[in-house]
Amino acid sequence: MSQGSNRLAPVKNCWVKKVSSSGEETVGRVVDSVDRGDDVVITVKWQKSGQVSVESLDDLRSGLKPQMEVQDLPNSRVRASLGEGVIQRVRTIGGKDQALVDFLQLGRQAWLPYENLRQIKGARHRFILGDTGPEDGAERFRLKSLAHALEMWNENTGSLSNLEIDPLPHQIHLVHHILASGHLNWLIADDVGLGKTIETGMLLAALKQRGHLKRVLLVTPAGLTKQWQEELNYKFKMGEFQIYGEDFMINEPRHWKMFDFVIASIDRLKSPENLEQIQQAGKWDIVIFDEAHRLSRRQYGMKLDASQRFQLAAHLRRNTDALILLSATPHQGMQDKFQALLELLHPERKEEITTLALNPEIIGEMVFRNNKADVTDAEGNFLFKGKTTTSLPVHVSEAAKEFDKKLQDYLKKGYAAGAALGFKGNAIGFVMTVYRKLAASSVAAIHQALINRKARLEGEILGGIKFDEIENQDQRFFGEWEEQLYTDAKEFFEGELELLDELIAEADGLRVDDRKLKGFIDRLITEILGSNSNEKVLIFTEYRTTQAYIREALETRFGDGSVELINGSMPHPQRRDAIARFEDTANFLISTEAGGEGINLQRKCHIMVNFDLPWNPMRLVQRIGRLYRYGQKKRVVVFNLHSPDTADEQVMDLMYTRIDQVVDDLAGVSAEYNEQLRDDILGELADLLDVNQILEQATVEGITRTQERISEALERAKAATEKQRELFEHAAGFDPNETGSSLRIDHEHGVAFVVGMFSILGIEVVETTHEGRLFHIRLPEAVQHEISVERSRYEVTLDRDLVVNRPNTHMLDLDSFLMQYLLKKAKSYDFLGLSAVIENHSLKGGALLTSLLRWQNDQGSRMRQEYTAYWVKPNGEVQTNPDAFAEWLKTTAITGTLTPVREENQAQFKQAELAADKRLEAVSNMHLHPENNQWVSGAWLV
């Protein structure tokens, strides 16, 4: 290799100097360089004389000086530039000249060879010198501002990432608040139905945008692992998550390096062998516990008794600096248990937490809670339009009453047989409980269960789920797993087989005259469709046999294609297709899925029928939440079917009646009665109420004792709810004004940015359809080359609703390759927009400057950035992030004319600098410390 080609040649616009024999230095700017093999010759334009000369590289040294603004242009074409920075110092080492450059955007300084650094004029330099920019400078200023604003808003809220849903204000606010706090150790205690999965996904999306999401561990109850995996994949396009123990196993600790996005069951991890495995997994960027109230540590005098689950959390806490706990009911009336959760989050504040009763205000720094009663949409309207619940009693035939008596006799004998066996008899008791639920659901469900039980006793090989495995199944379809319960091939009690024969024969006869099914169709459904033949009705049942039974009856009456199903046998795409057909042509959707966030039907449906009522009242709250949620334009109407003539349904009716009474008592029915407050309390109470054991004992204890026990359980839940609500008065919560000091960005800003960039870059909009929401575009060859695609035609949108049913439409969210290209282009130095004169701005006169403010933690790691605008008024006052600027960003900008005065520019810039410093100080706290301020652009308003 020749001597010339083995040396770095200074890049164009690099500053060099030549030293004469007398020691005089002459400084100039590189115009060109040519490698001749034996030497590199440089064309230089000298600063003082303005003359141009050709010089040998051997005769030149670095002409760079501290405070010069430079851009890194690496020698290798495959390495990305470090961007723009400011020279701090210069040195000569090993005979080579170098400059220490502070790259504000990267938060790092680096010594670089001077030859790779070209001098540039940054925003500050241009503004003070009065450089008014190119002819389209105002529009480039606007688009550069939008690019930074969109990225920073997403980094601080996660709301513009690849989401299947439009985030709500309270969800955006929660993520913004947590990230603005400077630490990631929070208990998220949102009311049931406000979208904790969405908030968690948005938080992860924001951290991903920041580059802070390399390893994540999500710990959930066993029955929720699959649901979390599905939701993160389909709603947030985070398909990397794998379930420990199902999708992968660990044989050696080093294998953990292959798995960075992990979902795990809490009860799998807590076992000694798995606990040892997870402790060897190394550090996690963030650990998240769903249903964190299951982490139990109680205090008895001076003694602490921690459950295995809590011990697991304590072990994992040592391997992460960020812990998020999710629970709608973390207190549960037990102060010591709640304080233990807070200690997990903030072990360094143990003394303060121990005296929580004296200083409850510290909860605001650890707990965030959104209440249904407070949350609004983007226009400030309350999200929930109200609901009406009607209980429809269906009186059964005398034959059905006789069947119920005989079934109760069977159940009592089964419970007695189970009790006689002690612990080993638990499975028999569970089977009896399932049969009671099936009987309350439909005659078809109990009929089929009894047939299956008889077949098992007669030696037929039937599959099923064992008693000890049922808790690990997907909780969304819990009833379905109960229905598939595996039973032993021997009689529970003497004479069981004969009794089964009698019950099966009677149940078979009842199907011919099923008063519940007839009442459902003749009285209810026919009346609903009589008012509107296109009405959509959502029907819930816990059991697949009942689902098939209802479907057959509805299709017989209303025809094929009138009914769609959702159940646990269907993968997510099939469930989504069923919903699409329901919203399009079908009248009925029968679902077994209560708790899944995947079925949100509020756009086309407001009527729900509960064909059976779940034992767990929380399941009913979750069912109603499928319709009673944001986006529902009508009042939700709920019909609950029940048969007061049967023993178990009497108990169920009693329970739900008492729940309503207690909720009304807690809500305080008065002139200020708030329907949303009632729903808040219902969700909280239902989550705290444990009546399963009471209902199981009802067959043995009778109605009077059962009524007493339900009242006792409700009083306990009521007391716990009151304590928890009192404590949560101090929690952080939804405040629509809290983000007011930030530059607030919405969907319209994204559209404005995309349309503006299409115009600037020559991307042709061939056609716009769907009321301006869908763009048919053609990329020019230059853009195709830059983003390395062969296709030139694309169908793109920023509308999430539109893209759901259009698989070939490209969604322009912030994870899109095309959006990433547009953002990078607009933010680049060569795009310009660093200075401009803006005409007809709604802010009258003065100057407008923008910068990126940054904060770090106490060890120098970047924690927060925000894009900030400063309007320096003609009188010298400064307004930060004026609403008029955010609004102006949505419309094409017009370039004006002005001859700036340098002294005035300096004074205006000084005022903006003071305002930026105030903002840095205002946001700083014990977790956030000022890092730097990078000026992005400046403009004069005329």
Digit-coded pLDDT (tens) for 302-311: 666 778 899 9
Q: How confident is the model at residue 596 (pLDDT cuts 50, 70, 90)?
A: low
Tracing tokens 């249904």 back to the chain, one arrives at: 372
Banded pLDDT at 335 (limits 50, 70, 90): confident
pLDDT in tens, 839-854: 988 898 999 999 999 9
Using the 3D structure, point to which of 715, 732, 749 is the last residue of a domain: 732
Is residue 394 within 8 A of residue 519, CB to CB? The reply is: yes
| Helical residues (DSSP H) of 74-118, grouped into ranges | none
What is the pLDDT at residue 569? 87
- Is 569 a domain residue? no
Report the number of distinct structural domains present in the chain.
4
Q: How do strand 636-642 and strand 588-591 relate by DSSP bridges? A: unpaired
Q: Are 494 and 488 spatial neighbours (Cβ–Cβ below 8 Å)? A: no
Q: pLDDT value at position 388?
A: 86
Single out the residue in 732, 750, 782 at which a domain terminates: 732
Residues 85 and 143 in one domain: no
Tell me what the pLDDT averaged over the chain comes to. 89
Tell whether 844 is covered by a domain.
yes
**What average pLDDT does the segment 821-849 reach?**
95
Residues 198 and 338 in one domain: yes
> Does 627 reside within a domain?
no
Highest mean pLDDT among 326-330, 625-629, 811-815, 890-894: 890-894
Last residue of a domain, one of 732, 763, 797: 732
Same domain, 133 and 36: no
CB 197 within 8 A of CB 229: no
How many angstroms separate the CA atoms of 484 and 477, rounded? 11
My answer on whether 145 and 65 are in the same domain is no
Decide if pLDDT at 532 tops 50: yes
| DSSP letters for 838-903 | EES-SS-SSEEEEEEEEEE-TTS-EEEEEEEEEEE-TTS-EEES-HHHHHHTTS--EE------HH
Contacts for 123 with CB less than 8 Å, ≥ 6 apart: 834, 835, 849, 850, 935, 936, 937, 938
Q: What percent of the chain has pLDDT over 90?
A: 61
User: Under a CB-based contact definition with an 8 Å cutoff, are residues 543 and 436 in contact?
Assistant: no
On the question of pLDDT at 146 being above 80, the answer is yes
Q: Is residue 631 part of a domain?
A: no
Q: CATH number of the domain at 175, please.
A: 3.40.50.10810
Do 290 and 356 share a domain, yes or no? yes
What does the pLDDT read at residue 677?
Answer: 64
Judge whether 629 lies within some domain. no
132 and 186 housed in the same domain? no
Say how many CA atoms lie within 13 Å of 449 toward its Cβ: 30
Same domain, 219 and 332: yes
Our measurement of the distance from residue 598's CA atom to the centroid of its chain's CA atoms, rounded to an integer in Å, reads 14
Q: Are 157 and 175 in contact (CB under 8 A)?
A: yes
pLDDT > 80? residue 343: yes
Residues 847, 699, single domain; the answer is no
Question: Which pLDDT value is given to residue 265?
Answer: 93
Rounded alpha-carbon distances, angstroms, from residue 140 to 70, 756, 798, 833: 21, 9, 21, 4
Q: Is the pLDDT of residue 719 over 50?
A: yes
How would you list the strands of the sheet with 387-393, edge to edge?
387-393, 636-642, 607-610, 537-540, 588-591, 563-566
- Does position 4 have pLDDT exceeding 60, yes or no? no
pLDDT value at residue 862: 94
* Domain match, 132 and 185 both: no
- Residue 669 banded pLDDT, cuts 50, 70, 90: very low
* In a domain? residue 176: yes
Judge if 133 and 192 occupy the same domain: no
More confident residue, 741 or 398: 398
Is pTM beyond 0.95 here? no
CB-count exposure of residue 281 (10 Å: 0-12, 13-18, 19+): buried
Residue 709 lies in a domain: yes
**Segment among 132-136, 172-176, 293-297, 415-419 with least mean pLDDT:** 293-297
* pLDDT tens profile 739-753: 667 888 988 999 999
**Parent domain of 293:** 167-368
Could you count the other beta carbons within 10 Å of the beta carbon of residue 65?
14
pLDDT in tens, 163-212: 777 788 889 999 999 999 999 999 999 877 778 888 999 999 999 989 89
Residue 378: the pLDDT is: 64
Task: Say if residue 145 is in the same domain as residue 236.
Answer: no
CA–CA distance, 683 with 677 (Å, rounded to integer): 10
What is the structure's pLDDT at 784? Answer: 97
Q: Are residues 201 and 337 in the same domain?
A: yes
> Does residue 659 lie within any of the structural domains?
yes
Q: Are strands 367-368 and 303-306 parallel, antiparallel or unpaired?
A: unpaired
Predicted pLDDT at 32: 95
Task: Using the predicted structure, report yes or no on whether residue 331 has a pLDDT greater than 70.
Answer: yes
What are the phi and psi torsion angles at 824 (to 5°)?
A: -60, -40
pLDDT at residue 351 is higher than 70: yes
Give residue 243's pLDDT band: very low, low, confident or very high (50, 70, 90).
Answer: very high
